[in-house]
A and B are shown apart, each in its own frame.
Chain A
């Protein structure tokens, strides 16, 4: 291939590339409060809430790291829109294992309201042992 063709190809390529780069969208940057950055750099994590903090109320029931069932509105379905609640709870309770199946002696009940919670406990053979909010609490296997 002649040198001229190579040069023309290179010129077209780099001109196109420069155009693409210069015309690329500047992403919208949401300003970050300095305190958040400081908290991250120092390790104090000021301004951040622990991941899965909504499950902190349940922690007092589990001094031993025995597996527990996590009872939701519906039987376990990985495609359910609310499934992230279970995953978040598991992440929060590591190394304790949360079983999505109703197989363990103790269960964390985490339903939308108490009527759904009652229905789910009835279906799966649990009875409520402690209340931690509407539709939420600790249940034990009957």
Chain B
């Protein structure tokens, strides 16, 4: 089990980061959330730290990255222990919200339990099928698809094989591997290779599996926490039968990791808002002796920003998401009645989290790899503007592409049709409810993400039909999980028993 060391170490690092951040959060089912996010956040952090270690020390970058990550882990552990000692240990840190188990059995609770049991059986069957398929596909195509072979793993080889010459990956001769692409995935892969001392073949598919499984489990966590356990299990099962996710997960592309970070960021922001809302309830406010609710949920806003930044450190498309997430944050702060200093504090927390991975992205794009398909291509803003608005024929082709790819049943199993139905229902029948509980965030994020791609496709340097055929389906993957969450939330009855919020 050569992969256990890097896997466990990245998990622990992610766990420590999240445990420090969420220690006093009112997030429901916090332990579950933390366990789902730990490995991806750990891998992202390793990648960020590795990049700076290589920038600072080049030939000694490998060792410096171990030192940096080790020191960070030690600092987080000490901080967590000291804080726990000074504030009295949070006894219910690993608490799962299962209030329906504590209630005296009645008809509703029995129905809830039966539905949950049936959904659990369904989920186990579907997830088992997904895992079997993933293992088979990965074993027969261990080097992954085109992008994995010639972009992500190729960059990881530069990190691993010769730290002194790692900047070779930014040379113009390798334009096919897009020197300006962000490095979360190559860094995460090289982290394990550096640890093992060899290019272990199992690691890239394992990382791909982790991100896919965690995306599904994140959907489960969200719906479990805010709708119902059985709803989460059905949604998670649905996610794992979607053809596009099944296929692309085994190709080791960066699209599913970016989908994970986008979904996690939007969900964390939504959870932060709801945690704040719940604190306004007198019952909880009375229990709370800590600083104001906004200050208390500041780390969740920081985490939402960090996750959005990690999306940008995974793929260029994540940069768009970072911009959209700031826009959504502005909307959230505008719509929620808070004092101006509170709004400023929360916005600063979000931007602070976002800024950490963005620093890597900007350093990469401004200093290391100055040319790219879009940024650094030499085209001016007005050229982009005229490209987006100036070609009706191209717009028609792109619209047709979206329609064709969104409605392909084998790829999506009807997800986008359900999403549009949910939008109709949400806008017409459940508008007030959706606005009140901020459930519009996943829908807004999904729409903005795809709208951004729609605009960018006009400016693509590649032939438009080729671009649509090779990229559009993968671009739809990014927002798929958010569309799924929104659809389930709109159509589900608010059946979940009242969530106990606890520090």
Contacts and interface: CB of A to CB of B under 8 A. Distances in A.
Interface in A85-112: 87-88, 90-91, 94-95, 97-101
B126 A21 contact: yes
A30 interface: yes
Contacts of A87: 149-150, 154, 176-177
Nearest to A92: B157
Given A21-B238, A40-B201, A95 B493 contact: no
Nearest to A44: B2
A129 B425 CA distance: 72
B356 interface: no
Interface stretch (A3-11, A113-121, A131-139): A3-11
B165 A65 contact: yes
A29 B126 contact: no
A21 B234 contact: yes
Interface stretch (B85-93, B128-136, B472-480): B128-136
A24 B241 contact: yes
Contacts of B491: 9-10, 13-14
Nearest to A5: B429
Given A31-B136, A40-B202, A42-B2, A94 B161 contact: yes
A48 B149 CA distance: 15
Contact of B234 (A17, A31, A67, A95): A17
A87 B176 CA distance: 8
A102 B122 CA distance: 58
Contact of A95 (B122, B165, B201): B165
Given A95-B161, A98-B173, A100-B173, A9 B234 contact: no
Contacts of B149: 51, 87-88, 91
Contacts of B133: 27, 29
Contacts of A37: 135, 139
A17 B158 contact: no
A45 to B, nearest CB: 5
Nearest to A87: B150
Nearest to B126: A21
Interface residues of B, number: 54
Interface in A32-67: 32, 36-37, 40-43, 45, 48, 51, 65, 67
The B interface is mostly helix, strand or loop, or mixed, namely helix
A5 B364 CA distance: 53
Contact of A18 (B140, B196, B234, B466): B234
B174 A20 contact: no
Nearest to A36: B139
Contacts of A42: 1-2
A123 interface: no
Contact of A97 (B122, B174, B200): B174
Contacts of B429: 1, 5
A81 interface: no
B414 interface: yes
A104 to B, nearest CB: 9
Interface in B148-193: 149-150, 153-154, 157-158, 161-162, 165-166, 168, 171, 173-174, 176-177
Interface string B49-65: 00000000000000000
Contacts of A22: 122
B140 A17 contact: no
Nearest to B421: A13
B158 A91 contact: no
A87 B196 CA distance: 26
A40 B146 CA distance: 21
A20 B487 CA distance: 15
Contacts of A24: 241, 413
Given A32-B139, A40-B201, A94-B168, A17 B176 contact: no
B142 interface: yes
Contacts of A78: 176
A116 B132 CA distance: 46
Given A43-B202, A95-B165, 6 more contacts: A17-B234, A22-B122, A90-B154, A94-B157, A94-B161, A95-B162
11 contacts: A9-B491, A17-B234, A20-B241, A21-B241, A37-B135, A48-B142, A87-B176, A91-B154, A95-B165, A97-B173, A97-B174
4 smallest CB-CB distances across A and B, nearest first, come from A43-B2, A13-B491, A24-B241, A95-B162
